[in-house]
Chains A and B, each alone.
Chain A
Amino acid sequence: MSTGQQTPTEQQSLSEEYRRRESSITLSSESAGQGETHELLTINIGPHHPSTHGVLRLLATLEGEVVRDIKPIVGYVHTGIEKTAEDKAYWKVIPVVERMDYLSYYFNAMAFCGAVESLLGIEVPPRAQYLRVIHLELNRIASHLVWLGTSALDLGAISMFWYTFRDRELVLDLFEMSSGQRMHTRYIQVGGVFEDIPRGFERKLRQFLKLMPTRADQYADLFEKNQIVIERLRNTGVVDRDTLLKLGVTGPLLRAAGEPWDLRKAHPYSSYDHFDFKIPVGTVGDNYDRFRVRHAEFYESVKIVEQALDGLPEGPFITTDRKVALPPRHELATSMEALIHHFKLVTEGFRVPTGEAYYPIESPRGELGCFVRSDGSAKPARVHMRDPSFVNLQALEPMVKDGYIADLIATLAMLDPILGGIDR
């Protein structure tokens, strides 16, 4: 084609031709032996491979181009975060656990703080809950933006990456404004949040909320109007709902298969029941649905943040319980009691009554649960994160088995595993 332009009919016929040739290839399993014609080839993908989204190693057994078996091997970025957490006072654990799933740091902090709060039995003020929701949903948008950009990169489309990272910068700027950090913000504290939102934050956030839906429309156009992307995603990596449920898969992967399971609706925490939003679900459970579900969550997250910003209640942004939260700075100059509280908190930290708690929340990848066991001291006796990436990775085998190796890359991109969360 000299002009580079294709008419719809030409596109149609090209697509049909492609489909015809594709269907002529048989995926039926022939007994794979040692013969000259079908021999199994075991290859190693990763751990240092750009399309594995981190340091994931895959042992793939191939018959020609068809994946017959796959074994994910993890642990390359295991840093013993759960062990380290046992050696730190409760509030010093927050920055440590934030580094597990490094794209959804607010969620890690939220799960941990929620578990500690339920052990302490303290109430979080309404304003803090709303501020948490605003930041959690912004973080969800940022996390999905990284997923969208890197997934497109795996499918061979580089421009999407620049666009999504451009918009992620806007979210990171907002994080920097409210907490002073762009990543691993330590914004969510036990009992509330670290600081109230600064002046000018609301204006900047509203600008972003106005911009984001139009940007999401553009992404949809970039993907939807690209025949190659559609061909690569549609009907690849299909796994039905029941298999996913058995494998414990949660989050967008499960919703793409038609199960409307979302903890924000099913078991609301942090005032999620105050907001009006929908749960996007898919029908088939293929890679295209996974893209669609996550993409639709951009709009829903924007809606939630808008409502939270409109209805932001007045009041304290952190609990007034001085045994848990630091007293305001100005009190230190006048109140001896405040000084004692400050000193106790900064040196020893606060003690948590004996007990165990499991606090699940809906992270961008599924159910993120934090288990905390307290033995009554100022350090947790056990911190465990049920990371959705770790559990969801078990679904990789049914997703890619008896499919092409090219679809393996697409499926892995749509699975969206974060190795920091898997290995902890």
Chain B
Amino acid sequence: MPDATELELTAQELRDVHSESILDTSFHRDRATLIANPKLIREVLGHLQGKGYTMIASLHGVDYYPEEPRLGVLYEMLDMKRVDRISVKARVSIDDPHIPSVVDMFPTADFPEREVYDMFGVVFDGHPDLRRILMPEDYEGYPQRRDFPVGGEPVLFTYNEEQGYGKYA
């Protein structure tokens, strides 16, 4: 893990190239996080890729309800040579949940980006095949958002099977 100084240096490097790219940094319990501008996420990850963080170990979404902007996309970057990890976080709002896709730079991001789209409704612009991956194709709503209730799905029994659910309810 980079220490707090190295994290700041990395952030400064990125700011030198793209002044708007890094909004903030956080260092908590040995976890170094760069909070990036979602519009420049490709530039930030591209720079880190050039620095040796060649793999996205994990890509996941988080709903920070009630904080704004609510949604977060997290990229856990991994440098396999130095065995070093840094995480990049980009926050997008519910009203405009758009972020550029990084599938062409990191082919591993394909399924995880689809999962974040499926669960949180974050639209990855430029993704070659952005469809739901775990939920049914015709499902409405984004189940991992914090305002989606657990058990928000009616259970179908014989007495209510006529009513159905989802789009045709």
- Which A residues fall within an 8 A CB radius of B? 74-75, 78, 80, 82-84, 86-87, 118-119, 121, 245-249, 261, 266-267, 355-358, 360, 367, 369, 371, 373, 381-382, 384, 386, 390-391, 393-394, 423-424
Contacts and interface: CB of A to CB of B under 8 A. Distances in A.
Among B58, B111, B135, residue most surrounded by chain A Cβ atoms (within 10 Å)? B58
A82 B142 CA distance: 13
B28 interface: yes
A78 B106 contact: no
A382 B63 contact: yes
12 contacts: A74-B134, A75-B135, A78-B134, A119-B29, A245-B54, A248-B106, A360-B57, A371-B74, A386-B60, A386-B76, A391-B111, A394-B107
A371 B54 contact: no
B106 A246 contact: yes
B62 interface: yes
Given A75-B136, A246-B107, A356-B28, A82 B54 contact: no
Given A75-B135, A118-B30, A371 B108 contact: no
Contact of A75 (B31, B74, B134): B134
Contacts of A386: 57-58, 60, 76
Nearest to A370: B58
Interface stretch (B38-46, B80-88, B158-166): B80-88
B150 interface: yes
Interface in B49-99: 54-58, 60-63, 74, 76, 80, 83, 85, 87
Contacts of B29: 118-119, 121, 355, 357
A390 B111 contact: yes
B138 to A, nearest CB: 13
Nearest to B59: A386
A419 B123 CA distance: 25
Contact of B144 (A82, A247, A267): A82
Contacts of A246: 106-108
A394 B110 contact: yes
Contacts of B37: none
Nearest to A87: B150
Contacts of A248: 55-57, 106-108
Given A247-B108, A382-B62, A391-B112, A356 B31 contact: yes
A379 to B, nearest CB: 11
Contact of B111 (A118, A245, A393): A393
Contact of B83 (A118, A267, A355, A381): A267
Question: Which of A83, A267, A357 lies at the interface centre, i.e. has the most chain B CB atoms within 10 A of its CB?
Answer: A83
Contact of B62 (A83, A118, A373, A423): A373
Nearest to B74: A371
Which of B29, B110, B119 has the largest count of A CB atoms less than 10 A from its CB? B29
A266 B79 CA distance: 11
Contact of A86 (B31, B85, B133, B150): B150
B19 to A, nearest CB: 26
A371 B58 contact: yes
Contacts of A84: 150
Contacts of A82: 119, 144
A396 to B, nearest CB: 11
B2 interface: no
Contacts of A118: 29-31
Interface in B120-145: 132-136, 143-144
B81 to A, nearest CB: 10
Contacts of A358: 31, 57-58, 76, 85, 87
A261 B135 contact: no
Given A371-B58, A423-B134, 16 more contacts: A74-B133, A75-B133, A83-B150, A84-B150, A86-B146, A118-B31, A121-B29, A248-B56, A248-B107, A355-B31, A356-B31, A356-B87, A360-B58, A381-B146, A384-B61, A386-B76
